[in-house]
């Protein structure tokens, strides 16, 4: 079995340089990284992470906790995170909390047991006590945690403002806003605030449809949407809290013979790939998922290195006009 020393000899480098590459510490040139990679491959060397993490304070693994792997927004976020983590020498331990706080708490404990370098939390129902005494960085995405290290959000409030302004400018006078989850409090709730402010100022009434987290977890809003649109035939504009909800609204409108955008206009949120695959294509609020993911990984990397971090980072959103308005 090959040892670290064998790898160093094969690569023509010192063992301390090889060790730096393996542990991803300090400056390492691409050339050096390549040489070490080739030597590892040639000798079929497997560093023993278990032994290493006993010696070291932590592994090069990031615990990524999401509420919902198959939701297109999180799928896109995970994909981006994984790519940026890989670039920075980290691996991802993926935890799917399925929106339950028990599972979220259990996964947080697991991350600590595995000595992850840090946690990126995109789920937020765990009791705060779980985080007590944690000495690794916790970066939150679209969540705010009093005792977290730093958070990355999009400008949810502005998203709500843009949606209301657009629908009203299109002539809508009876609005429906779908998606805030009644049982959870999160930054996405600010979308409702921004939406409400504009509606109040322009004196346009709106119905708010507060959903349950079971709907969110199953991505199944059709029944709720159908009964609401049937009971309120006056509705002429819908602002949905995700593109998944917006796409389902389109299908329900079709079923009820409501033409979009002629009779009802729809605006989604996220701008995931589904938005361009519906007919008509979705007008939506674009979240910079790629930039947000990159920022979260970079922050974690900086936090591990002991750098001072901005506590709360809010990235801009913008309206992408397609065919539902």
- Where do contacts with its own copies occur on this chain (CB under 8 A)? 37, 40-41, 44, 46-51, 53-54, 59, 61, 64, 68-70, 72, 75-76, 78-79, 82-83, 86, 91-96, 98, 103, 105-107, 109-110, 112-115, 132-133, 219, 244, 247-248, 250-251, 254, 273-274, 276-279, 281
Taking alpha carbons only, the member of 67, 114, 62 closest to residue 86 is 62
Cβ atoms of 317 and 159 within 8 Å: the answer is yes
The pair of structure tokens assigned to 252 is: 């329900």
The pair of structure tokens assigned to 245 is: 């909800």
Looking at beta carbons only, is 79 or 227 nearer to its own copies?
79
CA angle, 52 as apex, 47 and 53 as ends, to 5°?
130
Cβ atoms of 195 and 160 within 8 Å: the answer is yes
Looking at beta carbons only, is 40 or 303 nearer to its own copies?
40
Looking at beta carbons only, is 78 or 163 nearer to its own copies?
78
Distance, in Å, from the CA atom of 159 to the CA atom of 91, rounded to the nearest integer, reads 32
Taking alpha carbons only, the member of 273, 289, 207, 276 closest to residue 240 is 207
Looking at beta carbons only, is 151 or 324 nearer to its own copies?
324
Looking at beta carbons only, is 206 or 221 nearer to its own copies?
221
The pair of structure tokens assigned to 50 is: 């278990």
Cβ atoms of 78 and 64 within 8 Å: the answer is yes
Least separation in angstroms between residue 41's CB and its own copies is: 7
- The total number of residues shown for the chain amounts to 325
């Amino acid at each position: 079995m090959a040892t670290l020393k064998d790898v160093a000899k094969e690569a023509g480098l010192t063992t301390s340089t090889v060790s730096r590459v393996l542990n991803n510490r300090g400056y390492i040139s691409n050339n050096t990284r390549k040489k070490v990679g080739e030597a590892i491959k040639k000798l079929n060397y497997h560093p023993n992470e278990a032994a290493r993490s006993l010696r070291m304070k932590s592994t090069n693994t990031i615990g990524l906790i999401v509420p919902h792997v198959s939701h297109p927004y999180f799928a896109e976020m995970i994909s981006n995170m994984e790519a940026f983590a890989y670039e920075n020498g980290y691996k991802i331990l993926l935890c799917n909390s399925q929106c339950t706080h028990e599972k979220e708490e259990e996964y947080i404990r697991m991350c600590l047991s595995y000595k992850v370098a840090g946690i990126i939390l995109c789920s937020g129902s765990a009791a705060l006590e779980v985080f007590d005494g944690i000495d690794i960085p916790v970066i939150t995405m679209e969540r705010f945690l009093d005792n977290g290290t730093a958070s990355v959000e999009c400008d949810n409030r502005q998203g709500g403002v843009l949606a209301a302004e657009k629908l009203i400018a299109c002539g809508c006078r009876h609005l429906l806003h779908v998606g805030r989850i009644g049982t959870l409090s999160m930054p996405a709730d600010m979308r409702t605030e921004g939406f409400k402010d504009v509606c109040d100022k322009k004196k346009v009434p709106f119905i708010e449809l507060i959903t349950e987290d079971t709907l969110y977890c199953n991505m199944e809003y059709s029944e709720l949407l159908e009964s609401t649109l049937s009971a309120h035939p006056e509705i002429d504009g819908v602002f949905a809290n995700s593109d998944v909800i917006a796409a389902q609204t389109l299908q329900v409108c079709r079923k009820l013979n409501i033409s979009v955008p002629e009779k009802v206009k729809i605006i989604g949120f996220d701008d995931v790939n589904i938005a361009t695959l519906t007919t008509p294509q979705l007008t939506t609020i674009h979240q910079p998922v790629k930039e947000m993911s990159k920022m979260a990984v970079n922050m974690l990397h900086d936090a591990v290195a002991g750098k001072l971090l901005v506590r709360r980072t809010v990235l801009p959103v913008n309206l992408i006009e397609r065919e539902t308005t």
